[in-house]
Structure 1
Amino acid sequence: MRRGLARNSSSFRTRAGFGAALALILMLGAAPAVAEDLDGGLNRGLMRLSEILGSVHHLREVCGANEGALWRNKMIDMMNTAALSAEQRQAMITHFNDAYYQARAAFPDCSAKAAAKANSLFDEAQRLAGRLSTIGQSATAEF
């Protein structure tokens, strides 16, 4: 059962800030150095970002944002942009799916807590994007 915290609600932020954060991550994938650091901080960051995307996919859906497969498609874009091995792609997919199902179990309906969780994930994604862009820039500078 959906409650009235749709995308126009003041307690449920728009995706603009998170989209900007994700754009930074997608730009990182263009650098050949991304694949070089996938065992370090960049890999952990990409896995966490996969989890955030999975959670947001459910939370935005349950709260009536009417975005369809937007967050799943952002995940696919991120994987296609980064130079990943088959194992790394599968790990990201697993993190996305696990987070989606955990969010679905924790928040079966839209509530103020679900909206707050989505907002905190947006904030985390923005901070994470800043850290990942620093990692990507320093890895690219080594080439």
Structure 2
Amino acid sequence: MRTLVLLLAGALALASPVLTRPVSAAGPTEGAPPPYDSDLMRLAEILGALHYLRPLCGVTGEGQRWRNEMQALIDTEQPSETRRMKIIASFNRGYSSYGEVYRACTPAARIAVERQLDEGARLAHDIVVRYGGN
């Protein structure tokens, strides 16, 4: 599992420069979302789920890691306020949806963690591969 965590973290780090867009002095402008927007929203949701599930399942030493990854994603993306709120809502949806289902770490919760790590790593990789040249 540690390998999956490192893969997701590495993929997010690789995605960071890719997702950066020039921003005018006035700040980000509202416009059409980038082509990777749905993947980014799903990635935010996954980060929220991991922020809830990892501590629930006794993973120690991460502290605010997944929330910090989310903040780094927002800082890199530099979205408009409207889009920023959508990204945050996706993170919160991931956190709260698992909070409604799991009150204790069960075998199903452990499987959910594995799936979230796998999907998050795949999404981060796909964003870098598909949109890295833009």
TM-score range for the pair, normalised by the shorter chain length: 0.7 to 0.9
Cα distance in structure 2, aligned partners of 1:38 and 1:122: 29
Letter paired with 2:131: G
Which residue does the alignment assign to 2:57?
A: 63
Q: 1:92 to 1:64 in 2, by over 3 A?
A: same
Letter paired with 2:44: S
Question: Contact 2:49 / 2:95 at 8 angstroms: preserved in 1?
Answer: yes
TM-score normalised according to structure 2 size: 0.83
Which residue does the alignment assign to 1:47?
A: 41
Query: Which 4+ stretches in 1 moved above 6 angstroms?
Result: none
Cα distance in structure 2, aligned partners of 1:38 and 1:131: 20
Q: What runs of 5+ residues in structure 2 fail to find an aligned partner?
A: 24-28
Task: State the identity as a percent.
Answer: 30
Secondary structure of the 1:61 match is: helix
Which residue does the alignment assign to 1:82?
A: 77
CA drift at 1:72: 0.4
Cα distance in structure 2, aligned partners of 1:60 and 1:18: 14
Aligned residues: 126
Task: Please say if 1:28 is aligned against 2:38.
Answer: no
CA drift at 1:23: 1.5
- Choose the corresponding residue for 1:98, options 93, 96, 100: 93
Question: Contact 1:29 / 1:81 at 8 angstroms: preserved in 2?
Answer: yes
TM-score normalised according to structure 1 size: 0.78
Superposition RMSD on alpha carbons, in Å?
2.2
CA drift at 1:137: 2.1
Cα distance in structure 2, aligned partners of 1:126 and 1:32: 26
- Choose the corresponding residue for 1:112, options 107, 114, 125: 107
Cα distance in structure 2, aligned partners of 1:41 and 1:118: 27
Secondary structure of the 2:58 match is: coil
Which residue does the alignment assign to 1:8?
A: none
Q: What runs of 5+ residues in structure 1 fail to find an aligned partner?
A: 1-12
Secondary structure of the 1:41 match is: coil
Letter paired with 1:23: A
